[in-house]
Amino acid sequence: MKTKLYVLYGGKSVEHEVSLKTAVTVLLSIDETRYEVYPVYISRDGLWCTPGHLSKEDLTVERLIAEPAFHDPARSIGEILSGVMALPGPKVVLPLLHGSNGEDGTVQGLLELLNVPYVGNGVLASALTLDKAMSKQVLAQADIQQTEYKVCRFEEWRTNEEAVLRDVEHLIGYPCYVKPASLGSSIGISRCLNRGELLTGIREAFYYDNKLVIEREVVGREIQVAVIGNERPLASLPGEFIHDHTFFNYESKYMDKRLTMSIPAKLADGLTQRIRELAIRAYQAHGCEGLARVDFFLGREGDLFLNEINALPGFTNFSMYPVMWERTDGTAYSELIEKLIGHAIARHKNKQTLQYTR
């Protein structure tokens, strides 16, 4: 009997389009001799539905989008859970939901209650890694170096804008970056050179989140590492994008056709191994399982700062995460998906040994 593979994509998130692009690539790479694939689309309003069987021959982003039959989130989710995901036989879920309401532990909590294996990080690790402010506390506890930063909540900003601006200028300085605490794909991020830009950047970021992280700029290179595994994770060779953007924002990240990857990144002797070890330390400190991409800043003086951990990195066939593995150990894209499914099933099997009664 084939294993039923439920692929969740879309989502109530500003990273909705990124999820759709990821889903197309993943669905085209699934081995249908082993898996019976059930695509599940989650609309921008959080409604669940399915487009039904999708042929690989004409699979596009547009074909992935379905019209929900029910416009109440609870009923739409209930219909999918009872009518699609309750089918008998072995099953595994592949969540391809970037950002809020998918990468933050919410969907993971639902899948835990359903007691089904699912690819990627669990509830706590997903929540910690998406929330940059909480992640920074974990990294500090693990004694992993970061750049100077300040966390700003909306209530603090609403009641005393001037004090927040003074704090940033005194503690962080310019240039600085303003980031929504719980978003990815560089959405809502601003690089600020003066008070006027800082004011604009903070106001824009609060459209996306009620908590912000404001960081000092590190002038240098951004180095990335792919990590995979559960109890004994492995780190890939480091990589970096070669580009001439001062600020690597959403448009430059996803629309600049001139971007090139350098894998392995050209680093001084000993630094490659140090970065791989730090990536695993950070991964384990957050309790990650399955996969994550760990991003570092390498300053001009050789200082290494951990920037952030992405629990569901970009996963198209030209994204950094799968390409780093292909150039590290020859793992092809479809093989990487198989490995991740294997880690999901192994983790779930291990959890079934736990006792919930006395």
Q: Which residues are annotated as a binding site?
A: 295, 308, 310
Residue pair 121/311 in contact (Cβ under 8 Å)? The answer is yes
Of 2, 283, 231, 8, nearest to 118 by C-alpha is 8
Residue pair 3/90 in contact (Cβ under 8 Å)? The answer is yes
Of 354, 312, 317, nearest to 228 by C-alpha is 312
Inter-CA distances, 81 with 10, 48, 165, 200, Å: 17, 10, 48, 43
Our answer to whether residue 262 is catalytic in this structure is no
Query: Which residues make up each annotated binding site for Mg(2+)?
Result: 295, 308, 310
| Active-site pick, 76, 182, 185, 236 | 185
The token pair at 262 is: 């350098």
Our answer to whether residue 190 is catalytic in this structure is no
Distance (Å, rounded) from C-alpha 248 to C-alpha 221?
11
Sign of CA dihedral 61, 64, 70, 76: negative
Looking only at the bridges linking them, the beta strands covering 176-180 and 211-216 are antiparallel
Q: Which residues pair with 241 in a beta bridge?
A: 261
Half-sphere exposure of 189 (CA within 13 A, CB side): 23
Centre a 10 Å sphere on the Cβ of residue 78 and count the other Cβ atoms it contains.
Answer: 13
Sign of CA dihedral 237, 243, 244, 249: negative
Our answer to whether residue 43 is catalytic in this structure is no
Of 304, 280, 282, nearest to 141 by C-alpha is 282
For helices 271-285 and 132-141, angle between their N-to-C axes, nearest 10 degrees: 110
| Active-site pick, 15, 215, 240, 289 | 15
DSSP assigned state of 2:
P
| Active-site pick, 76, 190, 236, 319 | 319
Inter-CA distances, 2 with 8, 46, 78, 264, 337, Å: 19, 29, 24, 37, 16
Catalytic residue annotation: 15, 185, 319
